[in-house]
Structure 1
Amino acid sequence: MTVPGPASSYRSVPVSFVRRSRRLSDTQQRLWDEQRLRYLVDVPRAAATTSVDPGFVLDLAQVPPGSGPVVLEIGSGQGDAVVAAASARPGTRFLAVEVYEPGLAHTARRAAAAGVDNLRLLQANAPEVLASALPEAGVDELWIFFPDPWRKARHTKRRLVDEPFLALAARVLADGGVLRFASDWEPYAEQVRGLLESASDFAAHGTTTPDGWAPRFEGRVLTGFERKGTAAGRVVRDLAFARTPRA
């Protein structure tokens, strides 16, 4: 990987998250200190603590270790999906992008307990990772499961997935690589489906239900969050779209 000199610019677009508490308990801090060198990628910063220096490019030939396909999860939370997948697919290499330190600490602890070594973590703003920190066409699957739906009308502009984001996703996905999305907030899922159907860089992948959704992705473990949403009467919608071949 390359590590450039100090950055001089500041963010010119909104970030994909809102600041929340980053406090770790004493036990969490101790475990995080033990595991961060094993799992956390050292990302040089630009303007903020979760920014990415635009000159930094992760060497996917070395990180994560191995030569298998690369799966990138954005918004990995507590690590439920990515740790389970990394444990079940040891020949696949996983990268998890998350901004919140307690979530990263929990993910690292889970990975260590499962003996997982094909996973690495990045504490960074996702669009900046997609824009410059990953090589073009270096990712085989991109997962976005249950991102914040920003339900209030005045807040929908803060949603992670929009046209500029899909352009960045198309940059990092290999030809034929699959973007997988899931949400239990149907208006958001419908918005994302419309964006993907209109994007020339993507085409529907695999089979779809009669109403146009992808079947539930079997590689996504059923989490407490998903169970809670289902119990509240919300329907989980899945999408799967493949990166069309580059010209």
Structure 2
Amino acid sequence: MTDSPQATPETSPKLRTIKSFVMRAGRMTEGQQRGLDQGLSKFGLKLEDGLQDFDAVFGRRAPRTFEIGFGMGHSLLEMAAAAPEQDFIGVEVHRPGVGALLNGLLTQNLSNVRVYSCDALEVLRNCVADNSLDRLMLFFPDPWHKARHHKRRIVQLEFAELVRQKLKVGGVLHMATDWQPYAEYMLEVMNAAPGYQNLAADGTYVPRPAERPITKFERRGERLGHGVWDLKFERQG
């Protein structure tokens, strides 16, 4: 299933060697720089600030979604605009993407998103209280195609256990990938992870949920006959 051993108290620290990202360079547009210059102080959160009271951060108690790797932020921005009654925490290390999301928040005058620019697993461990998230989203993570690189995949038994701790009972881990072997791998990992129930009626994949926006990349893939697989697993206890 994976190159990593089963999650145990002795092996779970191995998660620390897995990163939620691959660092990429990129040019900054004027809008993205504006987002960083004007938006970080308003919407940005810092890893070093440690455990957060998100009710205090957002100034209310509301359903809370955490997204790992929001890319250029288009989907997260669309979801936040469509659900102003919900709060969203997005994590991304790609600075142009962070700037793009922040610029969008400023332009659309949204207040229900907060942003970290660092490793998402460190944020989960150190900044998010247990039993506090209603949903965690992981869309199109790097599949690390080669077998010798599978140990670098973010989806591992240790990851599933960390997420389970942070979700409320009844909270949902929602993952999506456009690479079928990775979808099968995700399904295998999650079936072995304790404390979850697959929300797919047939025990495999769910139809694309309406709340997950379709990206331009996904539309292009659909025209080329490429599939996308969505997985939803609910925390049971």
Which TM-score tier does this pair reach, normalised by the shorter chain?
A: 0.7 to 0.9
- 1:64·1:95 contact (CA, 8 Å) conserved in 2? no
Gaps of 5+ in 2: 1-14
Residues 92-141 of structure 1 deviation map (CA, whole Å, 9 limit, x = unaligned)? 11000111111010011112222210000011212112222100011000
- Other-structure match for 2:79: 85
- 2:140·2:177 contact (CA, 8 Å) conserved in 1? yes
- Other-structure match for 1:135: 129
Deviation at 1:22, TM superposition (A): 5.0
Residue type matched to 2:169 in 1?
A: D
Deviation at 1:244, TM superposition (A): 0.8
Q: Matched residues in 1 for 2:74 and 2:34: separation?
A: 21
Deviation at 1:61, TM superposition (A): 1.7
Aligned Cα RMSD in Å?
1.9
Q: Matched residues in 2 for 1:103 and 1:174: separation?
A: 29
Deviation at 1:26, TM superposition (A): 5.1
Q: Matched residues in 1 for 2:155 and 2:16: separation?
A: 18
SS of 1:61's partner is: helix
Which of 190, 196, 216 is equivalent to 2:190? 196
Q: Please list, as runs of the form range in 1=range in 2, the aligned pairs for 1:15-34 lying within 5 A after superposition.
A: 15-21=19-25, 23-25=27-29, 28-34=32-38
1:121 correspondence with 2:115: yes
Deviation at 1:233, TM superposition (A): 2.6
Q: Please list, as runs of the form range in 1=range in 2, the aligned pairs for 1:21-170 lying within 5 A after superposition.
A: 21=25, 23-25=27-29, 28-44=32-48, 56-170=50-164
- Other-structure match for 2:5: none
Call closer, same or farther: CA 1:238–1:176 in 2, change over 3 Å.
same
Residue type matched to 1:198 in 2?
A: A
Using the size of structure 2 for normalisation, the TM-score is: 0.87
Q: Matched residues in 2 for 1:216 and 1:26: separation?
A: 34
Residue type matched to 2:185 in 1?
A: Q
Call closer, same or farther: CA 1:116–1:215 in 2, change over 3 Å.
same
Q: Matched residues in 1 for 2:88 and 2:203: separation?
A: 31
Which of 203, 209, 226 is equivalent to 1:217? 209
Q: Matched residues in 2 for 1:89 and 1:27: separation?
A: 24
Deviation at 1:12, TM superposition (A): 5.3
Which of 210, 216, 222 is equivalent to 1:230? 222
- 1:41·1:120 contact (CA, 8 Å) conserved in 2? yes
Q: Greater relative contact order: 1 or 2 (C-alpha under 8 angstroms, separation 6 or more)?
A: 2
Call closer, same or farther: CA 1:141–1:12 in 2, change over 3 Å.
closer
Gaps of 5+ in 1: 1-10, 45-52
Q: Matched residues in 1 for 2:71 and 2:16: separation?
A: 26
- 1:66·1:93 contact (CA, 8 Å) conserved in 2? no
Q: Matched residues in 2 for 1:186 and 1:160: separation?
A: 16
Using the size of structure 1 for normalisation, the TM-score is: 0.84
Residues 42-99 of structure 1 deviation map (CA, whole Å, 9 limit, x = unaligned)? 331xxxxxxxx7xx10111212332111011111111122111111111111000111
- Aligned pairs, number: 223
Call closer, same or farther: CA 1:26–1:18 in 2, change over 3 Å.
same
Task: State, as a whole percentage, how many aligned pairs show the same letter.
Answer: 35
